[in-house]
Amino acid sequence: MKAGIEAISFYTSHYFFDLKNLAEERQTPVDKFYHGIGQEKMAAPPPDEDVVTLAANAAYQVIQKVDAEKIDTVIFATESGIDQSKSAGIYVHSMLGLSRNCRVLEVKQACYSAAAGIQLALPYLLLHPDRKVLLVAADIARYGLGSAGEPTQGAGAVAMVLSSQPKIIAFDQETGIYTEDVMDFWRPNYREEAFVDGKFSIKMYLKSLYEAWQQYTDRSGSRFDDFYRFCYHLPFSRMGEKAHFHLAKHIGREDFSEEYLLGQINETLQYIKIIGNTYAASMYIGLMALLENSAQDLAGKKIGFFSYGSGCVGEFFSGQVLPGYQQYLLAEQHRAFLQNRTELNYEEYKKFYLYSIPQDGGEYLTPRNKTGLFRFAGLKEHKRIYQKLESDSAR
Ligand code: CAA
């Protein structure tokens, strides 16, 4: 028996900002963004969207596809949490009306945390094959205005139901892990934006990939040629290319052409290019881009996953695509959502970016914008208020 993904979906902001406008504003050649880092657009969350609403809007779609009564664990993976104590997962659990006989927790290790959620859930599901785990990963990637990281911002969430009756991906047991105490990217509690040593973060990503791969192959006996496609953590789409070329080079597979290697990752980059970084959610948005856009039937194919979280932890793991997976995807819905988003001009982008919620304990209502079914409505006595709407603007 194998455990894996029974249902999966993503959600992002209804608003985006095109990087050609950022290039103009920052007097940078647009090619640096479009080609140098491989990003075209970035999702920009309005004031009434936060990690809870991003996650709830993604999760609402997946719980319709499964027997939700069987979900007895909710894991919320994020590095943009909204409370130092209460798990963001409790809000999501409540908004979705899940069973109260449920454990709910939040996990954090930069962009790696969702992979940790998967690895913790799998043995639990094999031990309890009648139960299901809802894993949500949601983040708002935020860097300083005018900083090198600014074009790699984004926002989004992934929700997946993991179970011992997977319909989309069945995960293998062996993984390879690498951890090292480094300061490549971090966000102290008093900061809204991350500090990042960009070049060093790329170096640590690549080092962790190689080290994790070595342990994975030693433990599993799998080889590069066993894989059909690779899904990488994607802070920006060119990072996927850098990672894949680095891996091929360092394991001595320089015989593969650039074209062949790009073919192993290209489909995974499609959504991230127009959404931006979503930290913990990004690798799984890459997985959905692959499954939903591949011209080939991927059933039976082996997929490699590399999750990297600054600080740092990297893990390489693998899984097989299951026969008939296509009928469990939300491909049309996702494509339509991305096509129908609203474009922001620079002033509108900056207004969303600069909006901050008051901290005086008063009663505040957030301005109404386009959101999914759930929105962050405001604050009262330091308590966050969420609202369920009659319909999702995307439907
Ligand atoms: N036309 C085409 N390409 C151009 C160009 C032009 N006019 N100008 C520059 N470029 C290319 C550069 O040659 C470079 O390509 P290579 O990487 O192949 O050398 C690329 O564009 C980027 O240029 P720079 O290196 O000069 O870019 P930068 O210094 O402004 O910053 C960055 C790039 C470090 C990624 C920055 O955006 C950043 O700090 N981002 C946030 C950190 C991050 O994403 N790190 C990734 C690893 S850590 C991680 O994965 C965790 C996470 O999610 C944060």
Cα–Cα distance for residue pair 243/62, rounded to 1 Å? 30
Mean pLDDT of 157-161: 98
Maximum Cα–Cα distance for the chain, whole Å?
64
SS3 assignment, position 125: helix
Q: Say yes or no to pLDDT of 395 above 50.
A: no
Cα–Cα distance for residue pair 179/277, rounded to 1 Å? 22
Cα–Cα distance for residue pair 142/145, rounded to 1 Å? 9
Distances (CA, A) of 298 to 29, 171, 293: 38, 15, 11
Q: What is the pLDDT of residues 50-106, one digit of tens each?
A: 999 999 999 999 999 999 999 999 999 999 999 999 999 999 999 999 999 999 999
Contact assessment for residue 316 and residue 209, using Cβ atoms and an 8 Å cutoff: yes
CATH code for the part of the protein at 4-388: 3.40.47.10
Q: What is the pLDDT of residues 269-285, one digit of tens each?
A: 999 999 999 999 999 99
* Poorest-pLDDT segment among 211-220, 237-246, 250-259: 250-259
Q: Give the pLDDT confidence score for residue 393 in this predicted structure.
A: 61
Q: Where are the domains of the chain?
A: 4-388
Strands 71-77 and 374-380: unpaired
Strands 103-107 and 154-163: unpaired
SS3 assignment, position 31: helix
**E strand or H helix at 292:** helix 282-293
How many whole angstroms from 295 Cα to the centroid of ligand 1? 30
Q: What angle do CA 40, 270, 156 make, to 5 degrees?
A: 75
* Poorest-pLDDT segment among 125-129, 152-156, 211-215, 390-394: 390-394
Q: Give the pLDDT confidence score for residue 94 in this predicted structure.
A: 98
By annotation, the residues acting in catalysis are 79, 111, 233
| Ligand 1 atom closest to residue 239's alpha carbon, by position in its atom list | 46
16's tokens: 């985006």
Choose which residue among 28, 152, 180, 207 to substitute to test ligand 1 binding: the one with the highest number of ligand atoms within 8 A of its C-beta. 152
81's tokens: 């949490």
DSSP 192: S
Q: Tokens 């190689």 belong to which residue?
A: 210
Q: How far is CA 350 from the centre of its chain?
A: 23
Strands 4-12 and 154-163: antiparallel
Q: How many residues does the chain have?
A: 395
How many whole angstroms from 37 Cα to the centroid of ligand 1? 5
pTM: 0.97
**Residues lining ligand 1, judged by CB closer than 6 Å?**
29, 31-32, 35-37, 111, 148-149, 152, 185, 196, 198-199, 201-202, 205, 233, 235-236, 239, 277, 279, 308, 310
Q: What is the pLDDT of residues 286-295, one digit of tens each?
A: 999 999 999 9
Q: Give the pLDDT confidence score for residue 157 in this predicted structure.
A: 98
Q: Give the pLDDT confidence score for residue 1 in this predicted structure.
A: 84
Cα–Cα distance for residue pair 160/7, rounded to 1 Å? 6
95's tokens: 């908004």
